[in-house]
Amino acid sequence: MDISEHYEVEFTQECTNEIKKIYKYIRDVLCNEIAAKRLMKKLEEYVSDLSYSPRLYVEIEKYKGTKKVYRRMVVNKYVVLYNIDEEKKKVFIAHMFYGGSDYINKI
């Protein structure tokens, strides 16, 4: 793989907050710290793949009011939305939502 095709991956502050909220929910409300840690590990693995394959996941349809083009990655029961800045060679992890939620209307 050509090193020039390496993309930097960055989490938005909003996404970081969403991830913390999900982790705390699984750990504290569901009382399952092991599952929370497993989800974080799996998220880390999936996100690391984006640095070399940012187009790995499908683009979602643009909805009314959505300004950016997002791609959707599914990690267990959660949806991670991200976008790609080709000029800067950066992937921005924008959101993480429970897959059963109406996440499209939250972006």
- Summarised one tens digit per residue, pLDDT across range 15-57 is 999 999 999 999 999 999 999 999 999 999 999 999 999 999 9
Domains of the chain: 6-101 (3.30.2310.20)
pTM of the model: 0.88
- Summarised one tens digit per residue, pLDDT across range 10-26 is 999 999 999 999 999 99
pLDDT of residue 67: 73
CA distance 5 to 26: 36
Answer yes or no: are the C-beta atoms of 75 and 57 closer than 8 Å.
Answer: no
CA distances, 38 to each of 23, 28, 33 (Å): 10, 15, 9
Residue 1 has pLDDT above 50, yes or no: no
Residue 62 has pLDDT above 80, yes or no: no
